[in-house]
């Protein structure tokens, strides 16, 4: 077997925000030759120290890579990085693979895949769940849409960033799953916030209550990892409430398109709109508890 067929792919990473910087670092630590790019300069210092190299543009990033991973804010940013001036599409060679870990509409994911196909470039939509902790520890759940062969080709790259890799169907399926994930999370955050608030209003030791519930039917990732923030009423960044609201909007639009009614998600979206208007958009999503606490007078 030739070196060409056994060599690890060169990996590019676009988007070094809270999640992306950790994900790119884990790719470097896994032994991949990683090139990075970020719209805002100055975010790559730690990655360069780990051994990554920096590209001057998305086009240069694509030209230096066999597989490019992106973790960006929303559809307009992905479209700009892909198809804008000096975008990834200008640098992709035929046979390249684009893995989009951003969260956006399934329809947009399908549109981008269709636009890349004439260049011989394949795409996977692969949004992630697990928060900044999961990104840092490489324990993310990754929801993947795309062709079987492309998923197999991406296996090592995805495994370096996540613990559970779920291939759910063609391009767009990953984004459907992520929208469903965000809809479910909206209810879980509200449920934990209500439980914490009830404990506080009852004069109980809320931390002891939480510990008593862990392992039982009410247990969840949110209960274990975010109830403390709700108790303290302090919400350091893990995943911005403004980004969850954007994701929840995708879920609500999908629901409308298929005739599903999501009353809990709609209520959560309303609370998030109020919190964002009050300047809490950069708080962690657990700041939904602010709304429940306020309604309860604490």
pLDDT 10s digits, 172-218: 999 999 999 999 999 999 999 999 999 999 999 999 999 999 999 99
Is the predicted pLDDT of residue 4 greater than 60, yes or no? no
Under a CB-based contact definition with an 8 Å cutoff, are residues 106 and 173 in contact?
yes
In this structure, the number of other CB atoms found within 10 A of the CB of residue 30 comes to 16
pLDDT at 199: 98
pLDDT, one tens digit per residue, over 241-296 is: 999 999 999 999 999 999 999 999 999 999 999 999 999 999 999 999 999 999 99
Q: Are 230 and 196 in contact (CB under 8 A)?
A: yes
The whole-number pLDDT of residue 3 equals 43
Residue 271's pLDDT is 98
Name, in order, each residue with C-beta under 8 angstroms of 238's C-beta and a sequence gap of 6 or more: 131, 132, 133, 226, 284, 285, 286
The catalytically annotated residue of 163, 178, 201, 208 is 178
- The mean per-residue pLDDT over the stretch 223-245 comes to 95
Q: Which of 41, 49, 5, 6 is nearest to 24 (CA)?
A: 49
For the chain, the distance separating the N- and C-terminal CA atoms, rounded to the nearest angstrom, is: 67
Q: Look at residue 7 in the predicted model and tell me its pLDDT.
A: 83
- The verdict on whether 178 is a catalytic residue reads yes
Q: If you write DSSP's letter for every residue of 44-58 in order, what string do you get?
A: -HHHHHHT-EE-SSH
What is the model's pTM? Answer: 0.92
For 97, the 3-state DSSP assignment is: strand
Q: pLDDT tens, 115-170?
A: 999 999 999 999 999 989 999 999 999 999 999 999 999 999 999 999 999 999 99
pLDDT, residue 6, reads 60
- List domains and CATH numbers for the chain: 3-171 (3.40.50.720), 176-295 (1.10.1040.10)
pLDDT score of 5 more than 70: no
How do residues 59-113 score in pLDDT, each as one tens digit? 999 999 999 999 999 999 999 999 999 999 999 999 999 999 999 999 999 999 9
């Amino acid at each position: 077997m030739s070196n060409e067929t056994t060599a690890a792919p060169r990996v590019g990473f676009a988007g070094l925000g809270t999640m992306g910087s950790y994900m790119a670092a884990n790719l470097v630590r896994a032994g991949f030759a990683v090139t990075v790019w970020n719209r805002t300069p100055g975010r790559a210092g730690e990655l360069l120290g780990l051994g990554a190299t920096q590209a001057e543009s998305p086009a240069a990033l694509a030209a230096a890579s066999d597989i490019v991973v992106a973790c960006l804010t929303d559809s307009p940013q992905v479209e700009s990085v892909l198809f804008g001036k000096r975008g990834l599409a200008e640098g992709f060679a035929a046979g390249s693979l684009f893995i989009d870990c951003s969260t956006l509409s399934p329809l947009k994911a399908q549109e981008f895949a269709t636009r890349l196909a004439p260049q011989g470039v394949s795409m996977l939509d692969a949004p992630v769940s697990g928060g900044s902790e999961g990104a840092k520890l490489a324990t993310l759940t990754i929801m993947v849409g795309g062709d079987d062969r492309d998923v197999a080709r991406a296996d090592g790259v995805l495994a370096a960033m996540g613990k559970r890799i779920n291939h759910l169907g063609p391009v767009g399926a990953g984004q459907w799953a992520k929208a469903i994930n965000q809809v479910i999370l909206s209810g879980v955050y509200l449920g934990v916030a209500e439980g914490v608030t009830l404990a506080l209003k009852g004069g109980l030791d809320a931390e002891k209550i939480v510990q008593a519930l862990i392992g039982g039917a009410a247990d969840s990732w949110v209960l274990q990892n975010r109830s403390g923030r709700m108790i303290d009423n302090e919400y350091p960044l893990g995943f911005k409430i403004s980004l969850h609201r954007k994701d929840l909007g995708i879920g609500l639009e999908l629901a409308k398109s298929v005739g599903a009614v999501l009353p809990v998600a709609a209520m959560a979206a309303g609370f998030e709109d109020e919190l964002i208007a009050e300047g809490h958009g950069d708080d962690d999503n657990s700041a939904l508890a602010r709304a429940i606490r306020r309604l309860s007078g604490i």
